Amino acid sequence: MQALTNRAKEVSRKPMTLLEKLYLPAIAKGMLITFSHIFKKQPTVSYPEQKRPFSPVFRGLHVLNRDEEGRERCTACGLCAVACPAEAITMEAAERLPGEENLYREEKYAAKYEINMLRCIFCGLCEEACPKDAIYLSETFAPANFTRKGFIYGKDALLIPDAKTDPEGYAKARGIGEPTTAD
């Protein structure tokens, strides 16, 4: 009969020779293999001290971007929430009042913007859906938390610090300086 694939291997049913029956040579061989592993390099990454580089296209925690003047870009259009397959995003819109032009870029802004990081699947569809370039997936990831509530990230956690007044916080939120596989 013709085999479907040519990958089948015939099993040897020969009775064992005396040397094989003794087992001891086979055991010695196995022990040499395990012994050789003493000198092998360990692939372990000791996490908090050592970090594994991310890929340059890594999709991590979300940030809400600001424009060049430090104003929030988000206009609370809701397209990200519609695009989200995990329904992790909720928001409430509010109208910009006179005198707040230095805070919000458009006339409408998100008064409340929440992402449930336990629901989020980090697919990046919100980033693609956003017409204002406001939501962006950084190269950081969500730290552990004791409660489920702690994983619902509000605007205070998501809004990126102003690059001018707080450059360090800005770099940290974007994940700039984290090792990537690109370099």
Partner 1 sequence: MTLLSIDWLLLIEKLILIAIIVFASLGIALYTTFAERKVAAILQDRPGPNRAGPFGLLQPFADGLKLIMKEEIIPSSASKFLFILGPGLAMTAALMTCAVIPWSSHVELFDRKIDLQIADINIGILYVFGVVSLGVYGIMIGGWASNNKFSLMAALRGASQAISYELAMGISLIAVLMISGSLSLKTMVDQQMAPGQLWNVAYQPLGFLIFFICAMAECNRTPFDLPEAENELNFGYHQEYSSMKLGFYLFSEYVNMIMSSAIMASLFFGGFDIPFLDERTLAPNIAAILGVAALLTKIVIFIFVFMWIRWTIPRFRYDQLMNLGWKTLIPLALFNMLVTGAFILWRQGG
- Closest CB to partner 1 among residues 4, 33: 33
Q: Does 5 bind partner 1 (CB under 8 A)?
A: no
Neighbours of 29 (CB within 10 A): 9
Q: Which residues have C-beta within 8 Å of that of residue 158, sequence separation ≥ 6?
A: 62, 63, 64, 113, 115
- CB distance 177 to 162 below 8 Å: no
Q: Closest distance between partner 1 and the C-beta of residue 52, in Å?
A: 15
Burial of 75 (0-12, 13-18, 19+ CB in 10 A): buried
Q: Closest distance between partner 1 and the C-beta of residue 47, in Å?
A: 11
Spatial separation of the C-alpha atoms in residues 71 and 93, rounded to whole Å: 16
- Closest CB to partner 1 among residues 47, 146: 47
Q: Closest distance between partner 1 and the C-beta of residue 51, in Å?
A: 16
| Residue span 24-63 as binding mask against partner 1, x where in contact by CB under 8 A, dash where not | ---x--xx-xxx-xx-xxxxx-x-----------------
- Closest CB to partner 1 among residues 34, 147: 34
Spatial separation of the C-alpha atoms in residues 5 and 126, rounded to whole Å: 44
Which residues lie near partner 1 (CB under 8 A)?
A: 27, 30-31, 33-35, 37-38, 40-44, 46
